[in-house]
């Protein structure tokens, strides 16, 4: 298997990489692994090199949604099956890949928004009658950034007092989240809620909020996505208010799918990962057994 990974931008990504590498070894699959360092052109080069090496199967998690048709057509012409994992592409020709294994990111965004609607009573921390939300977006053009924004917007439409007043990318990194949050805090002293598209950006925002002399989780409520250990610890500590889980442990299902497509078996075109959500109390209970 040739696997073209996005990079190492987050705790989620690290757990995902480990899951893929460990499971390939456990199942006796020879893995050629590349880290694209967040760049689409690096992923395209890696996929082209896997085609040249005539691997049996290619899997990748696309950095962004668009711009994959040409390289996927090259793989198809070479007779090499492709599996999308974690993130989708927006190609209209679905024959360019065998299946897509990963989360429902729109649902994740909806779950984040629904929690805010249900807890709107405590979310107006500055008491001005409006719930001002700032959104820390994932990588621009990436499926989870697009879909988590869409799902959240749909859910909060149920309560007109909730408004996303500013939204900017923090590129799914802790540093990115911190820097964007610092700028938002300087520009606006009416922020009630931070909705971060992943834990790492939420954790960066916590650093910025504390440096500004405010208490994360109280003065500003924080909602994130992923539920990696650091995020869960911050949730249990009361610094984050709610986390929507996104499961990175895709290795076992991916290797099973790879074996099936290489054997010429039919596989489901879409396999959705099972996920849950965590409140602060639930995080305290789940932390001791958390694998990632």
Q: Does 86 bind ligand AHR (CB under 6 A)?
A: yes
- DSSP alpha helix (H) spans, 212-279: 229-236, 251-262
CB atoms within 10 A of CB 92: 6
Ranges within 243-262 binding ligand AHR (CB under 6 A): 246
Q: Does 137 bind ligand AHR (CB under 6 A)?
A: no
DSSP 53-110: TT-S-EEE--SSSSS-HHHHHHHHHTT--EEEESS----S-GGGSSEEEE--HHHHHH
Q: Does 172 bind ligand AHR (CB under 6 A)?
A: yes
* Whether 177 contacts 199, CB under 8 Å: no
Q: Rounded to whole angstroms, how far apart are CA atoms 262 and 282?
A: 41
Q: Which of 38, 113, 144, 204 binds ligand AHR (CB under 6 A)?
A: 144
Query: Between vectors from CA 12 to CA 133 and to CA 99, what angle results, nearest 5°?
Result: 105
Residues 6+ apart with CB under 8 A from 180: 136, 168, 169, 170, 201, 205
**Cβ 184 to ligand AHR shortest distance, Å:** 20
Nearer to ligand AHR, 144 or 216 (CB): 144
Q: Does 278 bind ligand AHR (CB under 6 A)?
A: no
Q: Which of 225, 227, 234, 254 binds ligand AHR (CB under 6 A)?
A: 225
* Whether 52 contacts 2, CB under 8 Å: no
Q: Does 216 bind ligand AHR (CB under 6 A)?
A: no
Chain-centroid distance, C-alpha 206: 19
Nearer to ligand AHR, 227 or 255 (CB): 227
Q: Does 111 bind ligand AHR (CB under 6 A)?
A: no
Q: Does 171 bind ligand AHR (CB under 6 A)?
A: no
Nearer to ligand AHR, 40 or 130 (CB): 40
Q: Does 114 bind ligand AHR (CB under 6 A)?
A: no
Nearer to ligand AHR, 156 or 225 (CB): 225
What separation in angstroms does the CA of 184 have from each of 122, 135, 141, 177, 178?
21, 10, 22, 10, 10
101 DSSP β-pair partners: 85, 271
Site string for ligand AHR, 1-40 (x = CB under 6 A): --------xx-xx---------------------------
Give the DSSP H or E segment for 267. none
Q: Does 174 bind ligand AHR (CB under 6 A)?
A: no
Ramachandran region, residue 54 (left: φ > 0; alpha: ψ -120 to 50; beta: rest): left
**Cβ 273 to ligand AHR shortest distance, Å:** 10
Nearer to ligand AHR, 86 or 192 (CB): 86
**Cβ 141 to ligand AHR shortest distance, Å:** 12
Nearer to ligand AHR, 2 or 144 (CB): 144
Nearer to ligand AHR, 114 or 147 (CB): 147
- Residues in contact with ligand AHR by CB under 6 A are 9-10, 12-13, 86-87, 144, 172, 198, 225-226, 246
């Amino acid at each position: 298997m040739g696997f073209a990974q996005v990079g190492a931008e987050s705790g989620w990504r690290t757990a995902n990489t480990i899951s893929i590498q460990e499971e390939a070894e456990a199942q006796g699959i020879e893995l050629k692994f590349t880290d694209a360092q967040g760049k689409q052109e690096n992923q395209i080069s890696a996929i082209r090199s896997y085609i040249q090496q005539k691997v049996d199967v290619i899997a990748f998690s696309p950095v962004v949604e668009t711009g994959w048709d040409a390289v996927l057509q090259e793989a198809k012409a070479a007779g090499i099956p492709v599996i999308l994992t974690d993130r989708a592409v927006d190609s209209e020709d679905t024959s360019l890949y065998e299946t897509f294994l990963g989360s429902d990111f729109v649902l994740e965004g909806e779950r984040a928004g629904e929690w805010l609607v249900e807890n709107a009573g405590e979310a107006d921390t500055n008491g001005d009658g409006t719930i001002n939300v700032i959104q820390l977006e994932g990588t621009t053009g990436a499926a989870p950034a697009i879909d988590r924004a869409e799902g959240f917007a749909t859910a909060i439409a149920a309560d007109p007092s909730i408004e996303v007043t500013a939204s900017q990318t923090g590129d799914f990194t802790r540093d990115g989240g911190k820097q964007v949050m610092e700028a938002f805090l300087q520009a606006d002293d009416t922020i009630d809620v931070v909705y971060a598209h992943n834990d790492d950006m939420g954790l960066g925002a916590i650093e910025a909020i504390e440096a500004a002399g405010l208490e994360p989780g109280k003065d500003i409520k924080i909602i994130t996505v992923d539920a990696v250990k650091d995020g869960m610890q911050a949730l249990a500590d009361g610094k984050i208010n709610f986390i929507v889980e996104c499961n990175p442990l895709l290795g076992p299902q991916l290797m099973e799918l790879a074996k099936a497509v290489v054997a010429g078996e039919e596989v489901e075109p879409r396999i959705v990962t099972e996920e849950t959500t965590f409140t602060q109390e639930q995080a305290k209970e789940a932390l001791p057994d958390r694998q990632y």
